[in-house]
């Protein structure tokens, strides 16, 4: 992978750390299939990408190439699309005040995030979901998506606007040993502002998603 010129893009690095299949690779283009996320990730030359994957049955496509996004958006019947900004943060030192959720907290996370208890329980088993507590009460939680990005960030409504989202991210930086990355919907101005305040570094790429089913 060392020859790929965009190899330092955080979402590519995260993908390569998990189980994947290389569909195509040359000096300018990389197309891989990320099995855990059931997602094709494509970067590089527009024509090469389109020629290589247009015949595949794709449920999810991720790319920073807008021309690729436009082509598949206009020619395929994807149900959903979203455009994200990409940012990353270096790890930090210290003991994190984050905890794996209890069974009761697993149920709470599943209910508030709108997913299944089994999905959250699996994340707990993989050390990918954490809660932040004040006393014995879980105030916030944060998790790692199957593509390696930070997500699942939630704070109880009565505790919002008090800095807990920033606090839980700061604690998460102490857990991860590699750069942490996140993809934020470009129209989510509050989240973008919060990440900038918390010293996340935004790069020039927008990440375009096309998908037929949610994660």
DSSP 159: G
Q: Where are the alpha helices (DSSP H) in the chain?
A: 10-16, 46-53, 66-75, 103-113, 117-125, 164-172, 189-197
Q: Are 52 and 44 in contact (CB under 8 A)?
A: no
CATH code of the domain made up of 103-178: 3.40.630.30
And the tokens for 23? Answer: 């569909």
Q: What is the pLDDT of residues 68-121, one digit of tens each?
A: 999 999 988 789 999 999 888 888 999 999 999 999 999 999 999 989 999 999
SS3 49: helix
* Predicted model pTM: 0.78
The sheet carrying 30-34 orders its strands as 20-25, 30-34, 39-43, 60-63, 201-211, 80-89, 180-185
Residues carrying CATH 3.40.630.30, the chain: 103-178
- Angle formed at CA 28 by CA 26 and CA 34, multiple of 5 degrees: 70
Q: Tell the residue number behind the tokens 């709108």, with chain if given.
A: 114
The confidence score (pLDDT) of residue 99 equals: 96
Condensed to tens digits (0 to 9), the pLDDT of residues 123-147 reads: 999 999 999 999 999 999 999 887 7
């Amino acid at each position: 992978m060392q020859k790929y010129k965009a190899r330092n893009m955080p979402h590519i690095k995260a993908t390569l750390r998990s189980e994947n299949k290389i569909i195509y690779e040359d000096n300018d283009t990389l197309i891989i299939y990320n099995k855990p996320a059931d997602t094709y990730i494509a970067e590089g030359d527009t024509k090469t990408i389109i020629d290589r994957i247009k015949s595949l049955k794709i449920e999810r496509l991720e790319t920073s190439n807008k021309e690729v996004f436009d082509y598949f958006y206009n020619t395929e019947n994807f149900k959903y699309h979203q455009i994200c900004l990409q940012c990353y943060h270096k790890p930090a030192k210290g003991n994190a005040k984050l905890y794996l959720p209890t069974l009761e907290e697993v149920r709470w996370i599943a209910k508030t995030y709108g997913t299944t208890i089994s999905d959250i329980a699996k994340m707990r088993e993989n050390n990918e979901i954490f809660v932040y507590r004040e006393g014995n009460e879980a105030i916030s939680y944060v998790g790692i998506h199957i593509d390696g990005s930070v997500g699942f960030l939630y704070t109880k409504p009565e505790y919002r606007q008090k800095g807990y989202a920033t606090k839980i991210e700061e604690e998460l930086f102490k857990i991860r040993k590699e750069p942490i990355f996140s993809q934020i919907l470009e129209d989510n101005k509050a989240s973008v502002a919060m990440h900038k305040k918390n010293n996340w570094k935004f790069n020039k790429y927008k990440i375009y998603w096309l998908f037929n089913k949610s994660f």
